[in-house]
Amino acid sequence: MSSITVIFLTIVIKLLLLLLHNPRGTWCQNFEKSRSVWVEQGLVKGKIFKIDGRQVQIFRGIPYAEPPVGTLRFKKPVRKQRWEREFSATEYGPPCTQFMDFHKNDRFSAQNMRAESEDCLSLNIFAPYNSEDESGQHPILVWVHGGSFLAGSSDTGIDMEVLARNLAFRNITFVSVNYRLGLFGFMSVHHPDGHVEGNFGIWDIELALEWVQRNIKQFNGDPTRVTLMGESAGAAAVSALAVSPMTKDLLSGAIALSGSAVAGWAIHRQGGTPPNWDMANIADYIRCNKLIDEADLSDTLAQVPMTERDRWHKHCNLQERIPECLSNSAGQSLNTAEMLACFRLHVNVSESPMFWRALAAELGVSKMVVDGELIIDSGTELVRAGARVPLLTGVARREWAHKKPLFYLFYRYANYSREQVESAVRRIVENGFANTLSARMTNSTVDLVANATFLRYMQDVDFAYDMPGVVARLQDLESDVEFVAPCQAEVDAYVASGVPAFVYSFDFVPRGDVVEEDQRFYPMFGERPVGVRRRDRKRKGHEQDAFHGLDHAFIFTEGYSSNFHLEPYTRRDKAMSRLLTRMITNFVATGDPSTRNFSWPPCGNGTMQHASLNMPPKMIRGPIHFPTPTFWNDEVRMLSKYQMADPSGRANEQAVNELTYEERVQLRAYKRAWYALWAFVFAIALLIWLLIVCAVCHWSRRHNGRSAYDNIVVNR
């Protein structure tokens, strides 16, 4: 055999192996032909694939808005203008700029993630296709990805072939949308006249829904039957848009998987305090008037090689350059309009990526704001004012069951003191429940709520404060505050408005292992990232529970979702996938998720129930995870209205309440030192007083011991 033949065979074998290991490789074999259709912007070309004898048409990366850059930054999106030549919609468009690295190693979107860009407002369409009859119109499902409004894209965690089988082949036209994230999508601007700008990422989704109304018929979609579906932060966006006055003619249904606009992390609702992602607050971090917490800096630097860490760490807040217009010499005198112009034209995220990653860790979820137009209110008042389309919503059995101990500041396996656990509970009350209120609680009220919470979640007769037990209960507490209680509150508001609401608890637990994957840099392994695998096995004394994002693995993939996957993906798992996707497609098509073998009635006045999604599914009377919603939505909310009876201390109480948890800890330390100083001064004063008293008494005794006639001289 000649050397040329050997080289040729080697290349062929490598290509075959690449296709076998590429989850998208099979699409090359199934490609059938191209298809071009007219939309309002011009001609667009996609592809038709054939799988198991059925056809699916796929158009990816169709722009629906002008690039939101330059003077269009921090503005509502602008409808895309016409293009002259045929637009090739055969590949995903760039993801929007990422502010966290949740999906950088995603099995299906990792390669595309490297192309992140501000010019990212595109959508993708997967639709049934019949070459013999192109006149059919199908219900539409529009997907909004999650990721804390900081990360993710329209292709994150989506296996195109699984999507085709689960949705398109059930006669559903599927649309997924990119929307702006973090700084670009959720920075809020508070103008001196009281007007608030923000929600730019949510406005993106609204414009995409308008595009769907005007163009989806060309892709065999029915614009009168559009259901918006999202997961986590995407679910909160869906929850808000479903009741927005701007979407009255755009939607016929909504599906919110593990997320609600009623949650404290979704919409900022404390009018007296600006949100974390407010322009003025961000400017303070850029100027280094505020410093990012050292723990957040360290976590961010752990994602880069050791040799690069010193380079970043020597800069304030990990910034290599501060825009001239925001430097302390020039930026202190800027008014709101001038600062906004500076952000539009001179803030460059790509110059200091580590700063923006660390800032996102510092500020947390980038929230929506009440702007009076797209989002007119917050909490259940928002829902009651606008509920009009059927809602399918629910939560996982234990949403935060996969959170690690370090999230709760537990760094070693040990037993903990009651004081340490009380402190952890108080942090969750402050950072979770308190954000659901329209006004700040006083410090004493936070203490009251935290004590009641501690008694409910931690105070068992036989409860030992060991790390696994404490972490499990903190996971339950945080899940209840951030997902369960808001979900039930939203459902209650729908019921009060007379709008159908179908509620579920995702209780299905795979029998195999849950394998988490990540990549990190370690000094001993040099300058290359090391893949880390964590296998969560079901064993006695360590029972698994359904957690946040697990349902995603049964809709868009075969057991994969955002850096974890199931090993193995069994027949039972496939059965769960068929059941869940059948319920979703039935709801999209008819407004009712019931299947042939399972009746799922909506909640109504006097008939509160929810579906336990398991194998087999079953209906359960009462609210989800009762009595948790009653505790948070009724009892704790009543406690939160308690105020100190003494009005003289309220000003100081309010001032203290403005401080962060760490600042309060420091303040308490100062108070203890101050009290100790005064105690010492008091002790010295008391000692001096006692010495004076003793001296006086001693002098008195000496004086009183002399006779009254001692001065008289008697002559004898």
Q: Distance between CA 661 and CA 446 in Å, rounded?
A: 11
Mean pLDDT calculated for residue range 334-358 = 92
Least confident stretch, 88-97, 149-158, 440-449, 625-634 = 440-449
Predicted confidence at residue 441, as pLDDT, reads 86
Q: CA 244, 246, 249: angle at the middle one, nearest 5?
A: 100
Whether the upstream peptide bond of residue 245 has omega within 30° of 0, thus cis, is: no
Q: Distance between CA 424 and CA 450 in Å, rounded?
A: 10
- Chain centroid offset of residue 451 CA: 27
Mean pLDDT calculated for residue range 527-549 = 68
524 has a pLDDT exceeding 50? yes
Tokens in use for 67? 């690039």
Domain range summary for the chain, segments of one domain joined by +: 30-276, 399-548+555-570+593-655
621 has a pLDDT exceeding 80? yes
Mean pLDDT calculated for residue range 113-120 = 96
CB 375 within 8 Å of CB 274: no
Predicted confidence at residue 696, as pLDDT, reads 75
Q: Distance between CA 120 and CA 589 in Å, rounded?
A: 30
Q: Which residues of 616-654 are buried (b: 16+ CB within 10 A; e: fewer)?
A: ebeebeebbbeebbebbbeebbeebeeeeeeeeeeeebe
CB 586 within 8 Å of CB 594: yes
Share of the chain above pLDDT 90, in %: 62
Predicted confidence at residue 529, as pLDDT, reads 60
**pLDDT, tens only, 541-565:** 566 899 999 999 999 999 998 778 8
**Is residue 537 very low, low, confident or very high in pLDDT (cuts 50, 70, 90)?**
low
Mean pLDDT calculated for residue range 384-396 = 97
Query: For residue 685, what are the CA distances in angstroms to 525, 671, 678, 681, 691?
Result: 63, 21, 10, 6, 10
Residues written for the chain: 716
Q: Distance between CA 703 and CA 700 in Å, rounded?
A: 5
**Is residue 19 very low, low, confident or very high in pLDDT (cuts 50, 70, 90)?**
very low
Predicted confidence at residue 328, as pLDDT, reads 66
How many of the other CB atoms lie within 10 Å of CB of 408? 23
CATH T-level assignment (fold) for domain 30-276:
Rossmann fold (3.40.50)
Q: Which is more confidently placed, 703 or 98?
A: 98
Highest mean pLDDT among 99-103, 350-354, 475-479, 641-645: 475-479
Predicted confidence at residue 464, as pLDDT, reads 78
Predicted confidence at residue 665, as pLDDT, reads 55
Least confident stretch, 108-122, 355-369, 640-654 = 640-654
Q: Which is more confidently placed, 548 or 438?
A: 548
Q: What is the mean pLDDT of the chain?
A: 86
Query: For residue 574, what are the CA distances in angstroms to 559, 578, 580?
Result: 9, 6, 10
Query: For residue 341, what are the CA distances in angstroms to 142, 185, 352?
Result: 34, 16, 19
Predicted confidence at residue 194, as pLDDT, reads 86
Among 227, 204, 260, 243, CA closest to 80 = 204
| Helix, strand or coil, per DSSP, at residue 275 | coil
| Helix, strand or coil, per DSSP, at residue 216 | helix
Least confident stretch, 408-412, 507-511, 590-594 = 408-412
- Three-class HEC string of 607-635: ECEEEEECCCCEEEECCCCCCHHHHHHHH
Predicted confidence at residue 532, as pLDDT, reads 56
How many of the other CB atoms lie within 10 Å of CB of 363? 22
Q: Distance between CA 617 and CA 600 in Å, rounded?
A: 10
Q: Distance between CA 263 and CA 685 in Å, rounded?
A: 55
Among 296, 101, 269, 277, CA closest to 185 = 277
9 has a pLDDT exceeding 80? no
709 has a pLDDT exceeding 60? no
